Structure 1
């Protein structure tokens, strides 16, 4: 397996070094037979995440074509590996005596707590802290964002989690069903968001997970669809990425947010990966 250099978080990593390390990881990981959690997959992904959160001034748009192509291939690989990691932990945690107490076993739990803190702060600053109904699109097998927001921040809000994958919703709902109070406020819906129409108008706030719509074209279609059916004055919180973090997740550009009012764009500088974009559908 490829060997990697340790880096210092304080200084900026040179762009050439960052790209060569990421390309090395991509070359190794794309040859693997399976992306299921294993020592090799976990080591590669952990190193990739560390690399992508180092201070860097990289501009994705200015990269050579071959690096852009590699990035387009890397994002779905990371997404698949992330989904398999979540599924494995969620399935295991759902079988423990108190699943809600064991969520901290998930390796990136602390990261989700920080992201939820940022997102709630942004919602609060924009007057959406007391949303009655929230939709989370792309909640996955381990719906930590919804759970943390519902139990630590939005304690009387109704949450509907949408995911296209029935198995993901099945294991996720097992965890939530173990907490009777939360179960009353949280539902799971197996549906492609592009098929959800009038129902989108019921929510004060909609969250769009980073990996819903991996290509720019898909993302723009999804944003347009949600905008069409969401309520006037309602907000849409979109997860994006900036700089080297964009090797892990798609970027949502300002040009993609047509006919929305942009309320906030927040780019983290700690180990949180996702940027947060808060949009409002203007009143007609």
Structure 2
């Protein structure tokens, strides 16, 4: 099967799933919601040569809306279980009911992390106090918003501090926004990780540059990820 045929089949399948998801009355956890989201994920896991950033306008609009809908479903999932667990007399005794709980157990760094609820564009000089900043995948769903946030971080992060961004690769671009490395002005890109398993997000590690803004230097990593796309 040619690359073009693979891409056409993928786009057709994703559009069919999108059509069903967009017609749901609610994105709260349910059999239909869970089934469709699982189908979408399984569709996007296998390697595919597609570049979702170069789709036609119609499919780009579907992709953007699909990312938004999936984000809303994740929010609904967390709200649902937050309400459910909060209804118990001892919520922590039932914490394992939350599907993503095992992921949080693995976050050993959580005790050294701080969480602030605010618009990142309203945070300026305080950013220079941190050695590492994580940029969530859904912070800036479209390219313009993502670049706006990245430029803001480049302006206020401390020199040599680390920026870790969640991105996507191939068909996974239907689930998460893709960060274009050329948009990382003011950062030196150190590594790019593309998972090949059920983990959907790619990871980009970049260092706040002192002089050579926009300089790329990618290093490989051998594990369950495909490491490097190119090196300059």
TM-score category (smaller protein): 0.7 to 0.9
Check whether the contact 2:168–2:178 (CA below 8 A) recurs between aligned residues: yes
Cα distance change of structure 1 residues 236 and 94 upon mapping to structure 2, 3 Å threshold: farther
Partner of 1:67: 59
The superposition leaves residues 18-64 of structure 1 with CA deviations (integer Å, 9 ceiling, x where unpaired) of 22111111111112222111211111111111111123222213433
Give TM-score scaled by structure 2 length. 0.80
Q: Please give the root-mean-square deviation of Cα atoms over the aligned residues, in Å.
A: 2.2
Q: 1:269 aligns with which of 175, 196, 201?
A: 196
Shift of residue 90, structure 1, vs aligned partner: 3.2
Instruction: Tell me how many residue pairs correspond in the alignment.
Output: 206
Give TM-score scaled by structure 1 length. 0.67
Q: 2:21 aligns with which of 8, 29, 44?
A: 29
Structure 2 spans left out of the alignment, 5+ residues = 212-232
Partner of 1:79: 71
Matches within 5 A, 1:131-150: 144=104, 148-149=106-107
Partner of 2:42: 50
Structure 2 distance, partners of 1:56, 1:281, is 32
The superposition leaves residues 144-188 of structure 1 with CA deviations (integer Å, 9 ceiling, x where unpaired) of 4xx643xx2x3762x122xxxxxxxxxxxxxxxxxxxxxxxxxxx
Shift of residue 264, structure 1, vs aligned partner: 0.7
Q: 1:280 aligns with which of 187, 190, 207?
A: 207
> What secondary structure sits across from 2:114 in the alignment?
strand
Structure 1 distance, partners of 2:85, 2:6, is 40
Structure 1 spans left out of the alignment, 5+ residues = 1-12, 114-143, 162-188
Partner of 2:168: 241
The superposition leaves residues 182-241 of structure 1 with CA deviations (integer Å, 9 ceiling, x where unpaired) of xxxxxxx22111001111111110111100111110000001111211111110100001
1:192 counterpart = 2:119: yes
Structure 1 distance, partners of 2:53, 2:40, is 20
Cα distance change of structure 1 residues 94 and 281 upon mapping to structure 2, 3 Å threshold: farther
Between 266-275 and 190-199, report the one with greater CA deviation. 190-199
